[in-house]
Amino acid sequence: MKAGFFSTSITPPIGTMQAGGYNEARIQGIAGPLKVRAAVFETDTGRVAFAVVDCCSIGRPTIDLALSYYEKMKGPKLDSFIISATHTHSGAAVSSFLQADMFDKMAPEVIELTKYTAAPDAWFVDYTARQIATAIYMACSRVENALINTGKGEESGYTFPRRLFCKDGRAYSHPGKMNPDIVGPAGKLDPMVGVVGAWREDGSLIGALVNFCCHGTTYSKPNSHGDWPYYVEETIQKLFGEDAGVVVLNGPCGDVTQVNNQSRTRDFGLDIAKRLGFRVAAEAAKELIAMPKQASPTLAFEDRILPVPRRVPRKGSVEEAWKIVNQHRDDPENTAAVFARERLFESELQRLQPNKDVRLTAIQIGDALFLSNPAEYFTALSLEIKAASPFAKTMTVELANDCVGYVPTTEAFDPKTGGGYETVLTAYSCLCIDAGERIRDALIAMSKRFKPDLLPEDTTMPQGNYWSYGKLGPDRD
């Protein structure tokens, strides 16, 4: 197998539209660099690429634009790819909740409402697409013979469910730190740190793919920063060399965050980002240094498009939403106004596109399997995928190859115990109630079409015999 890595900057200038919310916001400072990080793996059977963008989400129109630039650069053919977002909430906006391919088809009175949203700057979208193409192209140009190893560790100290049950029996997103009404978590956690390393014969690290689940909210507005994945890269490069490539693929974290609502801890700041990133990197490093290497692991891949219906707004709710919007023209950031606008946006999307194509990708490298989906996916669903997969090292990746927004579990929509803003009908949370289970079942089915490599047993050491010292004893006098 051959592997190549490359990263390039997408650090935005001050004043660029910032993502991570429903309202317009502009970047006011630069707290750290933003990047596109890419890796390419190839064998005689094909070539795959991973590219991760320091942004909140990345829609298919932006990805298609990047692929068109890559084609113009005459880059080698990609048989499959996973292009995803780190989900940092402090990056510049690359995609909006209303994707570019639908925007111009909407009713003019609805389009007019988008002036209140974090619609991305067109020039920055174009720039990011070019940099994605550049990163993949350069990773292809840098491929070299590689030994591959894979591993999985655990990091469980700094992630928490952000939906919690309260005394009234229903779930709330971030009900408030130490709120006396909190009963307990309404979601699950996945502590797995997955890693794939590519090594030279001389023992130096070419690069690594790292997979972990946590929201990119340890550092937030108004300045820009790559959040905890930045410190994963920094730490691994300190350990293995600054030339080592590091691509961090965020796992399903639609309901997982660094915020512990059941403690009085401080949960935001660059020191928190560094603490989490360091711990994830340290766990990845332990696996990288310990696991055996293969010269010729299996490289296999599959892509699938799963049509999923959008939810239909409740009868009469669109008219109600217009009333709320008109009542709050002078206060567009009012919560009721924000979600009334979102219902109008989703009503238009459902009218224009009743079904959404959900892009699913599976890429096998040896005894590791990457399964990606374009949702901000709930962790419990990902854990069910991992439990059913034939690969012990199954690494799920969210917000990949498109963006379809929040996809909760069916239980989260229960009229008595469900809740949280992730379940509210918006342009970003719009698929049918059982979309999560549909995606889960499709990815499980895909996983079963692959067979993990069996790592060869080390037979270089001869069978042992009793050690002459070890046979002695016990003395009792």
Alpha helices in 86-182 (DSSP H): 100-103, 108-111, 122-141
In the predicted structure, residue 8 carries a pLDDT above the cut 80: yes
Are 147 and 375 spatial neighbours (Cβ–Cβ below 8 Å)? no
Q: What's the Cα-to-Cα distance from 454 to each of 367, 430, 449, rounded to whole Å?
A: 7, 41, 16
Are 154 and 32 spatial neighbours (Cβ–Cβ below 8 Å)? no
Are 40 and 247 spatial neighbours (Cβ–Cβ below 8 Å)? no
pLDDT digits (tens, 9 = 90+) for 169-223: 999 999 999 999 999 999 999 999 999 999 999 999 999 999 999 999 998 778 9
pLDDT digits (tens, 9 = 90+) for 18-39: 988 888 889 999 999 999 999 9
Q: Which of 9, 48, 59, 44 is nearest to 30 (CA)?
A: 9
Task: Kindly indicate the confidence band of residue 266, based on its pLDDT and cuts at 50, 70 and 90.
Answer: very high
- Per the prediction, the chain carries an average pLDDT of 95
- What three-state secondary structure class fits 134? helix
Task: Kindly indicate the confidence band of residue 414, based on its pLDDT and cuts at 50, 70 and 90.
Answer: very high
Q: Which of 154, 147, 159, 396 is nearest to 287 (CA)?
A: 154
| Phi, psi of 229, deg, nearest 5 | -60, -30
Cα separation of 346 and 372, whole Å?
A: 24
pLDDT score for 100: 67
Cα separation of 161 and 380, whole Å?
A: 11
Residue count of the chain: 477
Task: Kindly indicate the confidence band of residue 78, based on its pLDDT and cuts at 50, 70 and 90.
Answer: very high
In the predicted structure, residue 456 carries a pLDDT above the cut 90: no
pLDDT digits (tens, 9 = 90+) for 100-121: 677 788 899 998 998 888 889 9
- What three-state secondary structure class fits 18? strand
